[in-house]
Amino acid sequence: MSNFKQKTVYQIYPKSFKDSNNDGVGDFAGIIEKLPYLHELGVELVWLNPFYPSPQRDNGYDISDYCAIDPRFGTMTEFEQLVAEADRYGIGFMLDMVLNHVSTEHEWFQKALAGDKYYQDFFFLEPAKENGDLPTNWVSKFGGPAWEKFGATDQYYLHLFDVTQADLNWRNPNVRKELFDVVRFWMKKGVKGFRFDVINLIGKDKVLLDDPTGDGKFMYTDKPLVHDYLQEMNVATFGEDVTIVTVGEMSSTTIENCIDYTREDRHELSMAFNFHHLKVDYQDGEKWTLKPFDFEELKMLLHTWGKDMSEGDGWNALFWNNHDQPRALNRFIDVENYRVEGAKMLAATIHLNRGTPYVYMGEEIGMLDPGFDTMEKYVDVESINAYDNLIAAGNSPEMAMKIIQAKSRDNSRVPMQWSSEVNAGFSEGTPWLEVGASYKEINVVTELETGSIFRFYQRLIALRKELPIISMGDYQPYATDSKQVIAYIRETAEEKLIVLNNFYATETEVVLPEEFLAGELLVQNYAHVAIQKVQPLRAYETLALYLKK
């Protein structure tokens, strides 16, 4: 078994990490330059967002060739050099595999369009209904119908995402064989992990039917067939190498399914991502709204997933930030007054938890949303469309702008802040996306010289390797009636750990279990802490007490 439970994964959005040739876009050579930094942090696995050739309609998740590299990032030789260099630092790479759909520019789709029957069976091609309606009433996740006319024929192809992303027909064994060959191709290049994009959508029914209740989501999500396909892929590819770590991005999933996806005896995946906890600041489930986060819902979700996955022997991928989310610091913390304390509290909440933590680039130095003040600065097509929709719905330009500032995906995609030099040390050219306003104060150089967030992350990453309880202990919710603390107890036969996290800028207190009064103070984000039966917690304070039985 791989020791993935002791690892911490660092996510790099290659476009924005480090630009080595000053064309404004991050690249492989830039990542090579920063390997010593990643090694100092202590991470052993680095997830790279897609770098394959792509028309970039969905940010590289619309792939036109699975086994090649977009020249803006470098060459295959440079990728091989990156893998070899990283290996010297004990770092492996986790690649993003987008196997639910391909770009309509992919050779398979183009051959299908040209009339090749073999490749037409790679996709879901259906005629209109007798009354002329689309094959089903499903809605694309990017808005509008999930069906589009297939060339000059009278058929339609399914696209659950953008109209240029055609869903692949996993029921066809030839499709599975081709995709498994892709995974093996990258394994041969020395890749040590795979993140499978929206992988719980691949198990579509033989006959696609209307959704009587809504948008179609229920008709293609978490179908039993997904488990069969994952087991088949495991045997045919990464299952041959026990050191390879896999994670499934699970769209609108359930705990029951995630237990099955990740239980070791089922031979599917190492771990699963879910996103429920990052919708707690959505008004009525709508992303493009402004609402303070719902603490009770967040607490309930963390506890329910923690406890049920623990009891069912599943494994969570834990995260606050990624390339699709605004910075968690801006969402959950009063960053004007408590950026540093808040950053550490959020880190401790997941790093001491049961599951594998993911750190998104810049999180370890407390990077913030960029604070763009005009729509011209945004590049993300989703944000630009959302602004137009918000205005069309009657919002003032000021209100629409406020919502975009809070929710845009560009918040996390701005260049990494390396220094206080021009363009935050990311590039001497013009960056593809403007750097954040805070780079003069918040950057790697300043953080390593005078900050404490990086060192805090470094310690949490080291502790996970040192103390078996962090990687192996079960999860028990604690102080569940608290109105501002998320607390939990981890336990093995030999050790116990209690973690207290105050999610607010106001002080509060928690009654400690008697046994922990004699515990060792393992983690803290304030200098002076006195342990007592009724434990006071300051603004965004985090405390972890450790006991050897």
Query: What's the chain's average pLDDT?
Result: 97
Kind of pairing, strands 271-273 and 245-249?
parallel
Q: How far, in whole angstroms, is CA 297 from its chain's centroid?
A: 20
Residue 110, token pair as written in the block: 């183009």
Give all strands (DSSP E) within 147-268, no chain letters.
Answer: 147-149, 155-158, 165-167, 193-196, 245-249
Looking at the chain, the whole-number percentage of residues with pLDDT higher than 90 is 97
Mark whether 449 is an active-site residue. no
pLDDT top residue among 372 and 380: 372
pLDDT at residue number 381: 82
CATH number of 107-167: 3.90.400.10
Exposed, middle or buried, 353 (CB in 10 Å: 0-12/13-18/19+)? buried
Mark whether 474 is an active-site residue. no
The owner of tokens 């050219």 is 429
**Per the residue annotation, which of 70, 197, 222, 491 is the catalytic one?**
197
**Per the residue annotation, which of 249, 341, 447, 541 is the catalytic one?**
249
Residue 44, token pair as written in the block: 């052993």
Confidence of residue 142 (pLDDT cuts 50, 70, 90): confident
Per DSSP, the three-state class of 436 is coil
User: Tens digits of per-residue pLDDT, 290-323?
Assistant: 999 999 999 999 999 999 999 999 999 999 999 9
Confidence of residue 1 (pLDDT cuts 50, 70, 90): very low
Confidence of residue 2 (pLDDT cuts 50, 70, 90): low
Q: In whole angstroms, how far apart are CA 106 and each of 65, 72, 112, 122, 463?
A: 6, 19, 10, 12, 45
Per DSSP, the three-state class of 46 is strand
CB 75 within 8 A of CB 81: no
- Tell me how far apart the alpha carbons of residues 246 and 179 are, in angstroms, rounded to a whole number: 15
Fold match between 4-101+173-368+416-459 and 107-167? no
How large is the C-alpha radius of gyration of the chain?
23
User: Tens digits of per-residue pLDDT, 448-489?
Assistant: 999 999 999 999 999 999 999 999 999 999 999 999 999 999
CB 541 within 8 A of CB 502: yes
Residue 469, token pair as written in the block: 């309880």
Q: Where are the domains of the chain?
A: 4-101+173-368+416-459, 107-167, 373-407, 472-548
- Tell me how far apart the alpha carbons of residues 329 and 25 are, in angstroms, rounded to a whole number: 25
Range 4-101+173-368+416-459 classified under CATH 3.20.20.80: yes
Range 472-548 classified under CATH 3.40.50.720: no
Q: In whole angstroms, how far apart are CA 125 and each of 94, 147, 149, 201, 530?
A: 33, 9, 9, 17, 66
Number of continuous H segments (helices) and E segments (strands) in the chain: 18, 20
Confidence of residue 179 (pLDDT cuts 50, 70, 90): very high
Say yes or no to pLDDT of 10 above 50: yes
Per DSSP, the three-state class of 453 is helix
User: Tens digits of per-residue pLDDT, 25-83?
Assistant: 999 999 999 999 999 999 999 999 999 999 999 889 999 999 999 999 999 999 999 99
Residue 511, CA atoms < 13 Å, CB-side half-sphere: 4
pLDDT at residue number 59: 87
Q: In whole angstroms, how far apart are CA 472 and each of 20, 202, 354, 380, 457?
A: 40, 31, 7, 40, 20
Which distant-in-sequence residues (6+ apart) come within 8 Å of 490 by Cβ? 352, 353, 354, 469, 470, 473, 474, 475, 476, 496, 497, 498, 499
- Tell me how far apart the alpha carbons of residues 186 and 47 are, in angstroms, rounded to a whole number: 14
**Crossing angle of the two packed helices 295-312 and 255-262, in degrees rounded to 10:** 40
Residue 155, token pair as written in the block: 């058929």
pLDDT at residue number 159: 98
CB 161 within 8 A of CB 104: no
pLDDT at residue number 143: 83
Confidence of residue 8 (pLDDT cuts 50, 70, 90): very high
User: Tens digits of per-residue pLDDT, 236-261?
Assistant: 999 999 999 999 999 999 999 999 99
